[in-house]
Chain A
Amino acid sequence: MQVTGMLYGSRLLQHVGFPATEVLGPSATEDEIQDLITRHGLIFIKPLFKGGVGKKAKAGLIGKATDLKVALAEKERLYFAEHRHETAYAKANGVTFEAGVPAEHEVYFSITDDTRYRAPTMTLTHRGGVDIEEIPKGDVATIPFDALTGLKAFVVANALSDLGAPKEIVSPLVQHLPRLWELVHHYGMTTLELNPIRLRADSDGRLTPMACDFKCGFDRDDPRVSRLGLPPHLFTSDVSDFEQEVNQLRTHQGQSDVFVINPEGTILAPTFGGGANSLVTEVLGDAAIISSDFGGSPPYDKMKAVAAICFRHFLKQTNVLFVVGGKSNNTDILTTFRSIGDALREAFSQQGPVPLYVVVGRGGPNLVRGMGYLADTCDALGLPYRFFGFDSAISEVVTYAKRIDAWMKAGGRAELARKLGVNRAA
C-alpha cells in the first residue's frame, strides 16, 4: 500500500499543514495549465503511476515545460508511459502538472522504522534532490528518536547542526519537519519520504520548505489509514483480484496473506506457517501459483472460504494441490483439512472434476484424522494422493510435489483426465 507523487501527496501533507508545490491532475484544462505556467514560469509533467514506483527521473519520465505547447507534448508522451525498475513494472494512466519551485536549497527527508535501532528514524540531508545513496555518508544524518515523544524540533535542529547545514534553512526546517511525524504516526504510515523539499524564498527572503515529491508506504494492519479517506483504487495495482478477495477475509488471529507468484503456475499450494511458505515458494519456483500463509489456526469457515477462493481462481490449471506445513503447534489439522476437502468437493460440484494430484506434508494435532478425512474426499472424487507426515523433510516433500507436477505435465494429467471422464478434449 504505497502512494507516490504529488497529486495525492500534496493532499496528505495538508493534513499536517506541510507546504507543497501546486499540482494539477490529469483532468486539468489547457487554460489551467497555461495559468500554472504563467504564475510559475516552469512546470514539471510527471506520469501518474499507482503504487510505489521509483527512479522516474533517471528513466527520463519527468518532463519540463515553460510553454503550453511543450507541456501538452510532454503530456502526450508521458500519459501512458511504461516504467520498469528492478522487479516492478508500472504503466501510467495520466499525468500531473507540478509547479516548479525556484530554490537554492534542496533537502531530503524521510521517516521510517529502522531495524538497526528498533525505533522510528529520521534521515535528513541538506544536499537532497538526488538519490540518497549517492550522497556522502557524512552529509546524511540518520537519527532514531523516541516513539512515545515523537520527532521533536530539537532532534531536527541537532541533526542540522551536526551536518553543518546552511543556517538560513535551519529555522524553517525545524519549524516544519516535526509535523511530518504526526502524518506518519497517526495515519498508519510505515515510511514517508520527501525528496526534494525545496526551500522557496518569499519576497522578504524568508524560506519556506515546499515538498516537491512525495512517497509513502502504509501499514495495511493499521486502521488509522482509513482516517485519510483515500480512494481504494489508489491501491488496486498492489493486489490481484485473487489477493483482494482473500485479503477481505483477514481477521484477528487468522493469517491469510497471499501473493500470486505465477498466474500460469501448475502447483496450488495452500501453505501453513510463514517458514513453510518461504521454503515452499522458494523450492517450487515458477511452478507455484500462489505464495500463502494460512497458519495461525484458522477456523473452519474462514479456511473453507479461503480454499474456495483459491479453487475458484486456480483449480482448473492445477496439476498438484499441495497442502503443506511443518509440525503445527496449535493449528488443528482436522479442521483445516476438513475445510479444504469440503471446499474441493464443492469446487468439483461447481466446476466439474479437475485432473489433479494431491500431495500433503503436515504434522500437528489431529493429524491422522485430518489426513483420513482428506483421503476419503480424494477417494470420493477419484483423485490420486500421497500424504507425508512430519517425519519426512518438508523440503523433500516439496521436491516430490514438483516431480509429480512434472509427471502430470508429461502425460499424467491426460491419463487422469481420461479416468475422471473429464471432457474429451482434456
Chain B
Amino acid sequence: MRRQGVAGLPYYLGINSLAEIATRQDRIVVLNAMGGESRRVTPMSHAYSGGNVVFGVSPGRRGEILATPVGDIPIYNNVREGMADGHRFDTGVVYLPPSGVRDGAAELIRVNRDLKKIIIITEKVAVHDAREIRALGQANGVDVIGGNCLGVADSWNRVRIGGGLGGDSPQEVLLKGSVAIFSNSGGFTTTIAQYLATEGWGTTALISSGKDVYIHYAARDFAHAFRNDDRSKAAVLYVEPGGYYEHAVDFGKPVVACVVGRWKTKLTRAVGHAGALAGSGDKAENKERWFIEAFGTGGIYTPETPAASAKGALVTNIADIPRALTEVMRLNGVDPDFAPTGSLALKPWMANDQGLNLPTDIALPTVRAMAPYDAQINALSGQVGAVIARQPMKDKSGASVMDPKTQEARIHGHSVLDLALEPLEAVFALPLVRGIAGPDDRVLVNIAVAAEEILAGDAALAAAEAAREAGNAPNVVLAAALAMIGPKRVERALACSRALIDLFARSSLADGHDEGFDLSSITVDDATRALFLAAEADADDPRPEAMMQAASAGGGKSVFLTFLAGLGERVSRDAILAAICTTIAWRPLMQKRITRLTAETMPWYLRLYGVMIGASMPARHHQPGSLCGIPLEDRFGAWSVADVCFLAITGRAPKGEEALPLQILIGLLISNGPGSITGQGAKGAVAADGPQTPERVQINKAMLGFLTHSGFSHGGNGYEGIAFLLEQFRGVELKDPTVPSHGLDLAAMARALAERYDAEKAAAKDVGAEVPALPGVHHPVFRGEPVNFDPRERFIAAFMERRGDYNVFHAFYRELVQAMYDVGASPYVFCVNVDAIIAALLLALFWKEYKSGHLNEQDLETAAFTVFLYGRMIGSAAEIDDHLNRGRNMDTRTPPSACEYVV
C-alpha cells in the first residue's frame, strides 16, 4: 500500500518540487465546506484558482451548494458520496473542528486511493491526533500540510489551496517572482509577500506550515522541494521557537531566515530534562545560531549592521526581510524581479490627537493611503461629526454619572464641583460640546444668551406671566414660557446652522475661532445667502447689530461671524445665533467628538437658556431692548451670566462679586445623574418623541419634561434648609452674614439647639414617635467615622477658605454637628451635607433683601427653587442631547411585567 516517495529520505515525502505544491491540475475536496471559515474563504480560493474545488463535504447537507463567483460547489454528506457521483480529487482540505480532524484525514486516505496531499487548516488539533495523522500519512504515502495553517499558494500558477493566503484580494499580494516563502505564521506568509514587493521581489510558492508540535510539512521537506524548483532563486523562512525542524537543513540556495520569539523563553514552563521535552535547545536563540552558522554571517542582519552572505542572512525583524534579501541576492548577482512598489515607512491613514500637543516626531501627519483604500477613507471623511450607536437608554446616560461613593455627579467627565467654580458662560455649552468653554467661547455664549433674555412683546413672556399670576411655582412659570419656543421659533436658526456646517464642512477649517482662515474658498448660493439675511420682520430688532458689535468689542473671535459680516448686508439674529453656536461646536465637530445633530440643534438650547432666565423675571422688568431698565448694550461685555441670574432673582444689579455664590450654587445643582427625577423627565420627553427620528424631537418640550419633573419636593426643597436657618437666626441681630465679626456666640446657639433636639428625641422615643432629621445634617453615605464629612461640602468650604470668604450659617452648621455629638444627640460627629452649604450660601445671598423686607419668605422659597432650575437646566440639556443622539424610540418605558398593581 505504501506509495513510493522521494528517494533517499528516511521517511515518506511526495512533493518533489515547489512547482508541484499548488498547481492548476490539483483537484480539491473541502471537508466541512459549509463551516463558517470555509464559507468565507473557499469561494475566493476557488475563483482565484480557476475553479479547482470539485466538491465539499458537510454531513447532513447533501444537495446544498456553496456559491462562488465561478460557479457553485456541490456539497455531499461524505467523501464517498461525492466520489460515487463521479468526482475525482487528489487533494483534501480540512476545515473540521479539532476533534474531527483525525477522522477526516483518515476518511480522505481510506476512501480515495488517488489522494496525494491533505491540507489541515484547523487549529488546536490534539497532539494525540496529530501523531496518528502523521503516521497515517506516512503509512499511506500522503503528504500532509499544517495543521493550524493557512494552506499553500503559487503565484506563478495563480492557485491557492486551503486557507486564505493573500487575503480577500490575492492578486494584489501574490505577485509572480523568484522567492519562495515558508512560514510558521499564516498571517505573516501574506505579510512577507507584501513586504517583499516593496523591494521588487515577487514569489513562487508560499507555504503556511503552521506551528503545532507536529509540523507535517516542515522546513526539511520544503528545502528539498525548493532545491528542485527552478523558478525559486531564493527563499524566505519565518521561524518560531520550538522543535528541531530547521536544524542542519541544507537549502542549497540563498535563504533569508527570520527568527522571532526570544521573549517566549520567559513563558517556558519547563517540565523534565533535555530529551524528554520539546522546548530545550530549540529556543529562538538556538535557532538564530543555527542559521548564523549556516550562513557564515557572524551575526544578525539589521540595516545598521548588514550581516549577510551569498548563502543568506538571519533577521529578527520581519521588516528587515526585503532589504536583507536584496543584499543577499546582490552578493549572488541577482536583481529584484520588478521595480519596488513602495516603502514600509510609517504611513498613518487616520489620526486624531484630540487637540493634544504631541512632539512633532510622533505627531505624524496622515498620508494618502494606496488605492483603493484612499477612496474608501475619503468617503468616510465626508461624514461630518461623530456617529454614536443607538441603544436603549432607560436609566442610562452617556452624559452624566453619579459616583455612588462620593455622591459627586459628573457631566461629560467634569465634576459638578469643578463646574461650580467656573463662570456660567463657560459651562452653558458643556452639555453640547463636552468641554468647558475657553475665553472666546465665553464671550460668544454670553452674547447669545443675553440676546434671548429680553422677552418684551414675546408670547413666552405673556405665557410665563399668566402662569405666574395663576399661582404656579417657578418651574411651571418657566415651562409655560418654554412651551412657546417650539420648532417654528428655531426653524431659521437651525437652518442657518445646517447651512454653515454644509458650507464649511469640506474646507480645511479646524478651529471656528481662526479668523485668519481664508474665506475666499467659501461660495454661497442665493438661497443660502437669503437664509442668513434679516427679513422685514426683523427690521425692528436692534439685537443683530448689538450682538455683532459686542462680539467684536469683547474679542469673541469667530470665522462664522466674520463670514456673516462679509455678506455685506444686515443679517438676522438667528443667523448670528447659529454662527456663534457653529463657532463653539466646530472643533469638537471636526474632531468627531460630537454629532452633527448636536451642532445643528445647539441654537435651540441657547435660546431656551436665555428664555428661561428672562422668563424668571416678572413681565414688568422687560422693556424693548432692556431688562430691569438696564439696556442690552450696557450688559454686553460687562455682565456675566451669573450677574443676570442675580438680577433675575433679586431685581437689582449685583455689586462686586456678589453673584459668585450664585454661580457656585448653580454649578453644584447641575446634575445628580440620569436617575434623578428631573433627568428622568427630560429623557422620557425625548423618548416619547422618538430619538430615532431626531428631527421630530421637540427640545423645548424635553426641557418642559425636566421642569414638570421638578417640584416642591425636588428642587423646591432647597428652601427647607433656609427655613431651618431662618428659625435658628430669628430674633438675632445679624447685619452681614459674610463677616466673621458678627458678635454671635454660634457655639452656644448650636449647643442649645442640640440639647433641645436631644430632649425632643428622648421624649419622642418614649412615645414611639420619630423626630424629623435636621435639614443639612448627616448623610447615609458619609457616616460611621468618628468625625464625618461630605466631600462636596468640604470642596466648597475649602474654596471659600482660600478666598477668605466667610458664611455665618455654614459656621453655625459646623458648630451644630459637633454640639450634637457633645450632648449625646448623635453617636458620632455627623457630616454637614451639601444641602446645608447650599442653604447657607442662598440665605447669605438674600439676607440683606430679606432683612430689609424687599424679599419675604415666599420670595426666598421661589428664589431657592429658581436657582435649582437654572442649574438643572444645564444638566438637563446634557441628558436631552445625549438621549437624542443615543436613545431609541420610547426606550424609557417600563415593561408591564416589571410594573406592580397595588391595592
Give the contacting residue for A375; candidates B97, B271, B352; CB below 8 A.
Answer: B352
Given contacts A133-B273, A221-B127, A252-B124, contact A391 B347 (CB under 8 A): yes
Residues A115 and B40 in contact, CB atoms below 8 Å apart: no
Question: Is A73 interfacial (CB 8 A cutoff)?
Answer: no
Residues A329 and B128 in contact, CB atoms below 8 Å apart: no
Determine the distance from Cα of A364 to Cα of B190 in the docked complex, in whole angstroms. Answer: 10
Residues B98 and A252 in contact, CB atoms below 8 Å apart: yes
Residues A275 and B358 in contact, CB atoms below 8 Å apart: no
B587 to chain A, nearest CB (A): 12
Determine the distance from Cα of A113 to Cα of B11 in the docked complex, in whole angstroms. Answer: 16
Determine the distance from Cα of A142 to Cα of B35 in the docked complex, in whole angstroms. Answer: 42
Closest to A131 in B: B273
Residues B362 and A400 in contact, CB atoms below 8 Å apart: yes
Question: Is A419 interfacial (CB 8 A cutoff)?
Answer: yes
A391 to chain B, nearest CB (A): 6
Closest to B341 in A: A391
Question: Is A276 interfacial (CB 8 A cutoff)?
Answer: yes
Question: Is A242 interfacial (CB 8 A cutoff)?
Answer: no
* Count of interface residues, chain A, beta-carbon cutoff 8 Å: 119
Determine the distance from Cα of A253 to Cα of B150 in the docked complex, in whole angstroms. Answer: 12
B89 to chain A, nearest CB (A): 22
Question: Is A165 interfacial (CB 8 A cutoff)?
Answer: no
Residues A88 and B263 in contact, CB atoms below 8 Å apart: no
Considering the complex, which residues of chain A in the window 108-134 have a beta carbon less than 8 Å from any beta carbon of chain B? 110, 112-116, 118-120, 123, 131-133
A405 to chain B, nearest CB (A): 10
Closest to A187 in B: B128
Contacts of B263 in A (CB 8 A): 261, 278, 281-282, 285, 291
Contacts of A114 in B (CB 8 A): 278
Residues B262 and A253 in contact, CB atoms below 8 Å apart: no
Give the contacting residue for B318; candidates A274, A279, A295; CB below 8 A.
Answer: A279
Question: Is B858 interfacial (CB 8 A cutoff)?
Answer: no
Residues B168 and A396 in contact, CB atoms below 8 Å apart: no
Determine the distance from Cα of A296 to Cα of B126 in the docked complex, in whole angstroms. Answer: 17
Determine the distance from Cα of A53 to Cα of B370 in the docked complex, in whole angstroms. Answer: 52
Residues B128 and A224 in contact, CB atoms below 8 Å apart: yes
Considering the complex, which residues of chain A in the window 208-228 have a beta carbon less than 8 Å from any beta carbon of chain B? 215-217, 219, 221-224
Closest to A358 in B: B352
Closest to B166 in A: A329
A318 to chain B, nearest CB (A): 16
Residues B128 and A364 in contact, CB atoms below 8 Å apart: no
Determine the distance from Cα of A424 to Cα of B791 in the docked complex, in whole angstroms. Answer: 13
Q: A interface, by DSSP: helix, strand, loop or mixed? A: mixed
Contacts of A110 in B (CB 8 A): 272, 275-276
Question: Is A272 interfacial (CB 8 A cutoff)?
Answer: yes
Give the contacting residue for B347; candidates A87, A222, A274, A388; CB below 8 A.
Answer: A388
Question: Is A147 interfacial (CB 8 A cutoff)?
Answer: yes
Contacts of A180 in B (CB 8 A): none
Determine the distance from Cα of A4 to Cα of B270 in the docked complex, in whole angstroms. Answer: 11
A409-423 contact mask (Cβ, 8 Å, vs B): 1 or 0: 000100110011111
Residues B99 and A223 in contact, CB atoms below 8 Å apart: yes
Determine the distance from Cα of A378 to Cα of B352 in the docked complex, in whole angstroms. Answer: 9
B420-446 contact mask (Cβ, 8 Å, vs A): 1 or 0: 000000000000001000000000000
Closest to A355 in B: B356
Contacts of B353 in A (CB 8 A): 384, 386
Determine the distance from Cα of A273 to Cα of B353 in the docked complex, in whole angstroms. Answer: 28
Residues A372 and B380 in contact, CB atoms below 8 Å apart: yes
Given contacts A272-B187, A382-B434, A392-B346, contact A112 B277 (CB under 8 A): yes
A134 to chain B, nearest CB (A): 9
Question: Is B139 interfacial (CB 8 A cutoff)?
Answer: yes
Question: Is A365 interfacial (CB 8 A cutoff)?
Answer: yes
Question: Is B7 interfacial (CB 8 A cutoff)?
Answer: no
Residues A221 and B98 in contact, CB atoms below 8 Å apart: yes
Determine the distance from Cα of A281 to Cα of B263 in the docked complex, in whole angstroms. Answer: 7
Residues B347 and A193 in contact, CB atoms below 8 Å apart: no
Residues B134 and A147 in contact, CB atoms below 8 Å apart: yes
Give the contacting residue for A282; candidates B136, B261, B347, B593; CB below 8 A.
Answer: B261
Determine the distance from Cα of A422 to Cα of B244 in the docked complex, in whole angstroms. Answer: 52
Residues A115 and B127 in contact, CB atoms below 8 Å apart: no
Residues B370 and A391 in contact, CB atoms below 8 Å apart: yes
Determine the distance from Cα of A407 to Cα of B247 in the docked complex, in whole angstroms. Answer: 42
Residues B187 and A396 in contact, CB atoms below 8 Å apart: no
Contacts of A51 in B (CB 8 A): 269
Determine the distance from Cα of A332 to Cα of B240 in the docked complex, in whole angstroms. Answer: 25
Give the contacting residue for B185; candidates A186, A188, A278; CB below 8 A.
Answer: A278
Instruction: Give the segment of B409-417, B607-615, B800-808 that binds chain A.
Output: B409-417
B854 to chain A, nearest CB (A): 40
A330 to chain B, nearest CB (A): 4
Contacts of A250 in B (CB 8 A): 124
B114-141 contact mask (Cβ, 8 Å, vs A): 1 or 0: 0000000011111110011011100100
Given contacts A115-B243, A147-B131, contact A371 B213 (CB under 8 A): no
Given contacts A275-B187, A386-B364, contact A148 B132 (CB under 8 A): yes
Residues A113 and B386 in contact, CB atoms below 8 Å apart: no
Given contacts A113-B131, A379-B593, contact A216 B185 (CB under 8 A): no
Residues B213 and A190 in contact, CB atoms below 8 Å apart: yes
Give the contacting residue for A188; candidates B126, B135, B188; CB below 8 A.
Answer: B126
Contacts of A325 in B (CB 8 A): 187
Contacts of B412 in A (CB 8 A): 421
Closest to B354 in A: A384
Question: Is B342 interfacial (CB 8 A cutoff)?
Answer: yes
Contacts of B126 in A (CB 8 A): 188, 219, 221-224
A19 to chain B, nearest CB (A): 20
Determine the distance from Cα of A346 to Cα of B127 in the docked complex, in whole angstroms. Answer: 39
Closest to B10 in A: A117
Question: Is B268 interfacial (CB 8 A cutoff)?
Answer: yes
Residues A392 and B344 in contact, CB atoms below 8 Å apart: yes
Given contacts A112-B276, A387-B350, contact A329 B187 (CB under 8 A): yes
Question: Is A8 interfacial (CB 8 A cutoff)?
Answer: no
Give the contacting residue for A419; candidates B40, B132, B270, B356; CB below 8 A.
Answer: B356
Contacts of A169 in B (CB 8 A): none
Contacts of A382 in B (CB 8 A): 354, 413, 434, 593
Residues B373 and A2 in contact, CB atoms below 8 Å apart: no
Closest to B317 in A: A395
Determine the distance from Cα of A354 to Cα of B437 in the docked complex, in whole angstroms. Answer: 22
B336-374 contact mask (Cβ, 8 Å, vs A): 1 or 0: 000000101111111111111111011010000110010
Question: Is A367 interfacial (CB 8 A cutoff)?
Answer: yes
Question: Is B326 interfacial (CB 8 A cutoff)?
Answer: no
Contacts of A327 in B (CB 8 A): 167, 173, 187, 190-191, 194
Contacts of B262 in A (CB 8 A): 282
A1-43 contact mask (Cβ, 8 Å, vs B): 1 or 0: 0101000000000000000000000000000000000000000
Contacts of B268 in A (CB 8 A): 86-88
Residues B350 and A329 in contact, CB atoms below 8 Å apart: no
B260-289 contact mask (Cβ, 8 Å, vs A): 1 or 0: 111111111111111111100010000000
Given contacts A148-B136, A191-B276, A393-B344, contact A2 B167 (CB under 8 A): no
Question: Is A77 interfacial (CB 8 A cutoff)?
Answer: no
Determine the distance from Cα of A388 to Cα of B349 in the docked complex, in whole angstroms. Answer: 5
B188 to chain A, nearest CB (A): 3
Q: 3 closest Cβ contacts across the A-B interface?
A: A275-B185, A421-B413, A273-B187
- Since A186-B128, A368-B376 are in contact, a sample of 5 more A-B pairs with Cβ atoms closer than 8 Å, ordered by chain A residue number, is A112-B275, A252-B122, A386-B348, A390-B191, A393-B318
23 contacts between A and B (CB under 8 A): A52-B271, A86-B270, A113-B131, A116-B247, A132-B275, A215-B271, A222-B128, A261-B266, A274-B211, A278-B185, A278-B261, A281-B263, A285-B263, A329-B163, A363-B194, A375-B380, A383-B354, A385-B350, A385-B351, A390-B191, A392-B348, A412-B356, A421-B410
**Which B residues are closer than 8 A to A by beta carbons?**
11, 35-37, 40-41, 97-99, 122-128, 131-132, 134-136, 139, 150, 163-168, 173, 183-188, 190-191, 194-195, 211, 213-216, 218, 238, 240, 242-245, 247, 260-278, 282, 316-320, 342, 344-359, 361-362, 364, 369-370, 373, 376-377, 380, 386-389, 398, 401, 410, 412-415, 418, 434, 591-593
